[in-house]
Structure 1
Amino acid sequence: MDKRERLNKISVREKVAFGMANMGNIPIMALVGTYLLIFYTDIVGLNPAAVATLFIFSRILDGINDPIMGFVIDHLPKSRMGRFRPYLIIGVILCAVNYLMLWFAPLLFPGIKLVVVYITYLLIGISFDMMDIPLNAMIPVMTDDEKERGSLSAIKGASYMVGILGIGMAAPLIIQKFGNSVTGYLVLVGGATAIVLIFSIIGALGIKERVQPTNEEKYKFRDLFSILRERPVVISFVVSLLGGVAMTTASSSNIYFATYILDNRMDVLSFSSLISMGGMFAGMFLTSRLIGRLGKKTLYGGSIVLFGIFMLIRLFSVTNIPLIYLTSLLGGVGSGGMMALSYGIQADNVDYIDFKRGTRAEGALASLNSFVIKAGQGFGGAIPGYVLAATGYAANQAQIGSAITGIIGITILIPGLINIVSGIIFIAGYNLDKDKMSEITDTLRARRKSMEKEKKNRETVSGNPAFEQASI
C-alpha cells in the first residue's frame, strides 16, 4: 500500500464515528417531517392551512439563507480540527436549543402561538444548516478514493436507515402510550434532542479531513449561480427536490392514515418501519453487487422508480395490512438503493466542479442540496395541510368521505407518482458515468500532487540560506 492509499484509507473506528455523526442528524427533520403537522393541529390547535403556509414561506426564505450559509462555511478560517468539523459541533448545540423551542414554545405562549411557531420554524432552517452543511461536506474531504467514498456513502445511508427505523418504530408507540398528548411529545422530542447532541458531537470528534483544495483561491459568491447551472448539479438537485416532496408528503400523512383510516393502528406504522429495514439492507447489498455492472446512474434512478411503484400498489387495497407490510418490504429495496448512492453522487458532483472550475465548493453544494431537500420538505409538508383543509378534515373526530379520500391521496398516490417521475428524470438527465468519474479523479489527484510538489519546493527555497543569498 503506497502513501496515497494509506492517506485515503478510512479506519473502522473512524467509519463508526462517521455513522454516529450521521445518526445524530436524523431526529431533527425526521420528527419535523412526520409529527410536527399533527402536533400543531391536534395539540397546539392551529389551522392546518396556516401551518401549510408557514412551511411554504419558510422554504422561500431558505432559498436566500442556504446559499449564503454554504458560502460562509466554505470561507470560514481553517482550524486544527479542519475546515468543517468545528462548525459542525457549534451548529449541533445551537440547533438542539432551537429544536426544543420549535415544539414547546407555542405551548408556553398560547396567546401568540402562531407568531412563536413562525419565528422558531424560520430559525430552525438557519440553525439546522449550521450542523447539516458541514456534515454533508465531509465525504469529499475525508477521502478521494472511489471505494472508500462508496463505503462512506453506504454508511451514511445505513445510518439514516437505522435512525429512521428507530424513530419509525419508537415514535408511534410513544405517542400511542401517552395518548397523543403533550407528555408523549415531551418524551419523544426530549429523547431525540439528547441523541442529536451525544451522537453528533462524539461522531464529529472521531473523523478526519484529508482532501485539500487543489487551488487556495476561494470562489466568489456570484459563482454559486454558475455552479448551480452545471448539468449534473441541476439534475441531482431536481431529483432531491422531488424526493423531499414525496418523502415528506408521505411521512407527515402516515400518522393521519394510521389514526383515521386504520382506526388508530399505530403498531402498523411501527412494524412496517421494521419490515422496510430488511428491504433497505437488501437494497444496499444488491447495489454494492451491481454498481460495477450497471453504474450509479441506472441504479439510483431505478431504485427511485421501484420505490414509487410499490407505493402505488397499496392503492389496490388501502386497508389491507399484509399488503402494507409486503409493499414496505419490497419498496424498502428501492429505498436502500437510493440511500446507498445519493451521497456518493453528491461527492462526485463536488469533484466535477473542482475538475471544471479548479475550486472546491463542498459547502456550496451541501448548502444548495440542503436547500432543495428542505424546499422539498416544505412543499411536502404543505401539501397535506392544504389537502386536509380543502377536504374537510376535522381534528380528533371521525372523518367524512372527502377527508378520507384526501388522506389516502397524500399518503399513497401523490408520493408514489412523484417518485416515479423523479427516477425517470435522473436516468435521462444525469451525465456522470463511471468512465467520466475515473477521468475526473485521476486529474484531480495529479493536480494535488503538483500542488504539493510546488509547495514543498517553495518551503525548501525559503528555508535554505544559500537560495536566499543567490536571490539577492
Structure 2
Amino acid sequence: MSTSAPLPSAVSGPETGPETGSASADPGRLSAKAILGYGAGDFANNLAFATAGAFLLIYYTDVAGISAAAAGTLLLVVRIFDAFADIFAGRVVDRTYSKRLGKFRPFLLFGSVPLLGLSVATFAVPQIGHTGMLVYAYLTYAALGLAYSLVNIPYGSLAGAMTQVPSERAKLASARSVGGSIVSAGLGILIAPRLVPGADLQTVFTVATLCFMVVGTACYLFTFFTCRERVKREVTHVSMRQSFTTLKGNRPLLMLCVSSVLFITGGLSLSTLQLYYVRDVLHALNLFPVLSTIQLIATFVLAPAIPFLVRRFGKRTAYMGGSVVMALGGLIVALSPAGVVVLPFTGLVLGMLGFLLVNMLVWALEADTVEYGEWRTGVRTEGITYALFSFTRKTGQAIGGAVGAYALALGGYAAGAAQQTEAALWGIRIGTGIVPAVCALAAALIMLAYPLTDVRHAEIVAEIAARRRQGDDQGDGAGQPTAPAPADGASPGAN
C-alpha cells in the first residue's frame, strides 16, 4: 500500500497534512497482528510498572509498615534514579544492533524475566526492622527501575522504527494505551477491593506478582515475534557524540519533555492518592472497581478515535484538550462535598479521561521528534531520544508520587485507621485534585508554543527521504543525507 496517502486538507484542522512516505524501503501500513503485538508489550510493562505505581505506596505504608514520610522520600529518590537509568538505557540501546534480531527486540527477549522477577521481590519486604526494611525497599525498587528502563526504552523506541506514517503511529500509541489500561483496570477490579484493613495483603501481592510474571513473559514474547523494525537507518551503532548532537537544539523534544514533566507530576499525584480518596474521603471503596471498569471502557472507545482526532485536530491540539479535561476533573475532585458522591466521582472520571487521552497521544508526539533530530543531523537516535523523554516522565513520576505521599504525611494520615482526621482528608484532596489541575493547565500552556505540527513533520519526513534518494543516486555508498543540517536554534514550526 502507498505510504503517501493524504490526510484531509488544512480545512480539517490546523495541524493536519499529508502522510508523507517513509525513508525506508517498506514503511507502509502495519498489520493488525503487529499493532496487537505492540499493545501486548505495554500490557506486560504495566504488570510491573502500573502495579508499583498504584499499590507500592499503600504496600509500604499499610503492609510493610514504613512511614508515609519515609515512603515518600523513597519514591522520590528511587524514581529520580530511574530517570537517570533511562539515559543509561538509551545509550545502551543506541550502541546495540543485531543483524538477526534488530536493534530493540533483543531487550524484550532477554529482559522480561528479570524485570518481572524483580517486581515479585519489590512486593516482598521482609520484617527485619525499620532500617532493614528501608534498605531492602530501596535496593529492590531501584533494581526494578533499572530493569524496567532496559526493557521499556527499547520497547518505546520500537514504535518509531516500525513506521513513519502518522496515523499508523497513532494506532501504535493507542494500542500501547489499551494494553496499559487493561492492566490498570484489572488491578482496580481484582486487587483494589481486597485492600481493606485486616486483610492478608502480603499474600494478595505475592500471588498477584507471581501470576504477572508468567503472563507478562508470554506477552513480551508475543511482542518480540510480531513486531518488526522496518524504518531504514544509515547508522546502526550510534556514538555518544552522535546521540547528544541529535538532542542539541531539538526544540520540539525539549518542549514536549517540559510539558510532560508537569503533566505526569499531576497525573501521578492523582493515581497515587486515588485509592485513598475513594476509600477515605468518599468512604466508597466499592466505587474503585467501577472507576477501573469505566477506564477500561473509555480506553476502548478512545483508542480507535485517536487516528481521527489526529487527522481532524492534530496531535498538539488534542493533547491540550486532554490536559484541560484533566484539570477540570481535578478541580471538581478537590472542591466537591464528599456527601454528594456522584459529583467527586464525576471529577475522578474526567481526570482519568484527560489523562488517558494525553497518554495515548504523547507517544506519537515523541516519535515525531526522532525525525526532527534526524532531519537536523542525518542520524536516527531513537534510543537516546526516547530515553530523554522517558527521563522527564520518570522525573514527573518521582515528583508526583512524592507529592502524593507528602500530602498524606503533612495531613497526618494514620495507616489502617477506619476514620481519618479532617486535615488528613484535605491532604488527600489536595494531592488528588489541586495538584493535577495546576500541573495539567501548565502543561497545556507550554504546548501552545509547540512548533512541530503534523504538517511540518510530514515535510521533514519527505525531506529526509529526498536526501537519502539523492545520496543513493550520487552513489556515495553510505546513503547519508547530503543537505546541510539546519543551524542550531532553527525553528521548524512555520507551516
Greater shift, 125-134 or 371-380, is seen at 371-380
1:402 aligns with 2:407: no
**Counterpart for residue 66 of structure 1:** 86
Cα distance in 1, alignment partners of residues 148 and 250 from structure 2: 26
Cα distance in 1, alignment partners of residues 457 and 272 from structure 2: 37
Cα distance in 1, alignment partners of residues 237 and 97 from structure 2: 13
Cα distance in 2, alignment partners of residues 441 and 410 from structure 1: 42
1:203 aligns with 2:223: yes
Q: Is the 8 A contact 1:20 1:202 kept in 2?
A: yes
Cα distance in 2, alignment partners of residues 41 and 307 from structure 1: 28
SS of 1:31's equivalent in the other structure is helix
Q: How does 1:17-32 map to 2 (within 5 A)?
A: 17-32=37-52
Q: Percent sequence identity over matched residues?
A: 26
**Counterpart for residue 294 of structure 1:** 313
Cα distance in 2, alignment partners of residues 316 and 244 from structure 1: 23
Q: Is the 8 A contact 2:270 2:433 kept in 1?
A: yes
Greater shift, 158-167 or 211-220, is seen at 211-220
CA shift, 1:150, in A, is 2.1
Q: How does 1:37-186 map to 2 (within 5 A)?
A: 37-107=57-127, 112-176=132-196, 179=199, 181-186=201-206
Amino acid at match of 1:122: A
Amino acid at match of 2:371: D
1:420 aligns with 2:420: no
SS of 1:104's equivalent in the other structure is coil
Amino acid at match of 1:100: V
Listed one character per residue, the Cα deviations across residues 337-370 of structure 1 (whole Å, up to 9, x for unaligned) are: 3233111101101111111111111110121122
Cα distance in 1, alignment partners of residues 129 and 461 from structure 2: 54
Q: CA RMSD in A?
A: 2.7
1:355 aligns with 2:375: yes
| Equivalent of 1:270 in 283, 289, 314 | 289
Q: Is the 8 A contact 2:246 2:373 kept in 1?
A: no
**Counterpart for residue 364 of structure 2:** 344
Listed one character per residue, the Cα deviations across residues 185-222 of structure 1 (whole Å, up to 9, x for unaligned) are: 22332233333222122222211111121445724258
1:446 aligns with 2:466: yes
Amino acid at match of 1:135: Y
Cα distance in 1, alignment partners of residues 199 and 339 from structure 2: 22
Unaligned runs of 5+ in 2: 4-23, 480-495
**Counterpart for residue 244 of structure 1:** 264
Cα distance in 2, alignment partners of residues 135 and 392 from structure 1: 40
SS of 1:365's equivalent in the other structure is helix
User: Residues 91 and 107 (structure 1 numbering): CA distance in 2 closer, same or farther, change over 3 Å?
Assistant: farther
Greater shift, 137-146 or 213-222, is seen at 213-222
Cα distance in 2, alignment partners of residues 81 and 179 from structure 1: 46
Greater shift, 437-446 or 178-187, is seen at 178-187
* Structure number having the greater helix percentage: 1
User: Residues 108 and 196 (structure 1 numbering): CA distance in 2 closer, same or farther, change over 3 Å?
Assistant: farther
Cα distance in 2, alignment partners of residues 16 and 293 from structure 1: 24
Q: Is the 8 A contact 1:95 1:127 kept in 2?
A: yes
Unaligned runs of 5+ in 1: 460-472
Cα distance in 2, alignment partners of residues 369 and 84 from structure 1: 17
Greater shift, 52-61 or 137-146, is seen at 52-61
Amino acid at match of 2:291: S
Q: State the TM-score, normalized to the length of structure 2.
A: 0.85
CA shift, 1:253, in A, is 0.9
Amino acid at match of 2:402: A
Amino acid at match of 1:424: L
CA shift, 1:232, in A, is 0.7
User: Residues 59 and 337 (structure 1 numbering): CA distance in 2 closer, same or farther, change over 3 Å?
Assistant: closer
Q: Is the 8 A contact 1:279 1:332 kept in 2?
A: no
User: Residues 46 and 92 (structure 1 numbering): CA distance in 2 closer, same or farther, change over 3 Å?
Assistant: same
Q: Is the 8 A contact 1:276 1:331 kept in 2?
A: no
User: Residues 394 and 457 (structure 1 numbering): CA distance in 2 closer, same or farther, change over 3 Å?
Assistant: closer
